[in-house]
Amino acid sequence: LKKAEAFTRGYRKVILVSLELWYTEIEELVSNSPKDWIWVLRPHPGTKDHYDEMREFFRTVHPNVEMNLAIELPLHVLILVADIHISWFSTCALECLPFGVKTIFIHPSAKVMYNEFITSGRMVYVEHPLDAIELIESSEPLENIQQDSYATFSGNDDTRKACEFLKCRGDD
């Protein structure tokens, strides 16, 4: 966590992105964002053959894009330093809930997959990735999400304990 905090310190917004192979779809969003935002891009593990290609692409898009750290560190550590999460339709959105980090979806499939969460306001869908800039700018941590998240994850005691464990591991 200290490594992630040190790397993201000084930025006004830390945006965690769960990348898919269609990563070029967010070029406009990233390139039009303020220079005091940092983009932590975590590629899907199934896209390892494309990591170098992704790094090179984003290197020219925005000065504050980090992918190496996102590959190296566990997801929950990245979530702990993130202000917001962006995804096409990744289940990482569910992992963000216990930490109070809202997800903005940029793919229409998410409207079906996460309808309950979008309807309740815990997650958001935008028609065009560029529409996310205003949402990121005004993003606040989700309130009272902890108990709600435990219920969402089936409400069993093991899930609650796992969420508590991940939250307390943040000091490592």
DSSP string, 76-112: HHHHHH-SEEEESS-THHHHHGGGT--EEE-STHHHH
- In this predicted structure, what is the pLDDT of residue 74? 94
- Cα dihedral 59/65/70/72 (nearest 10): 50
- In this predicted structure, what is the pLDDT of residue 148? 46
Higher-pLDDT residue of 49, 115:
115
- In this predicted structure, what is the pLDDT of residue 143? 61
Q: What is the pLDDT of residues 128-168, one digit of tens each?
A: 988 999 999 987 766 644 444 444 444 445 445 545 555 55
**Closest Cα to residue 104, out of 50, 142, 75, 74?**
142
**43 touches 21 (CB < 8 A):** no
- In this predicted structure, what is the pLDDT of residue 164? 55
- In this predicted structure, what is the pLDDT of residue 160? 52
Question: Which pair of structure tokens corresponds to residue 11?
Answer: 């930025």
- In this predicted structure, what is the pLDDT of residue 169? 47
- Checking if the pLDDT of 23 tops 70, the result is yes
- CATH number for the domain harbouring residue 129: 3.40.50.2000
- In this predicted structure, what is the pLDDT of residue 53? 87
Q: How many CA atoms lie within 13 A of 128 on its CB side?
A: 5
Report the relative pairing of strands 103-105 and 37-43 from DSSP bridges: unpaired
- In this predicted structure, what is the pLDDT of residue 150? 41
Instruction: Please give the residue range of the domain that contains residue 130.
Output: 2-171
Structural domain count, the chain: 1
| β partners of residue 40 | 16, 66
Helix-strand-coil split of the chain, %, nearest 5? 55, 15, 30
- In this predicted structure, what is the pLDDT of residue 55? 84
Q: What is the pLDDT of residues 28-77, one digit of tens each?
A: 888 899 999 999 999 888 888 888 888 888 888 878 888 888 889 999 99
- In this predicted structure, what is the pLDDT of residue 171? 44
- Checking if the pLDDT of 102 tops 90, the result is yes
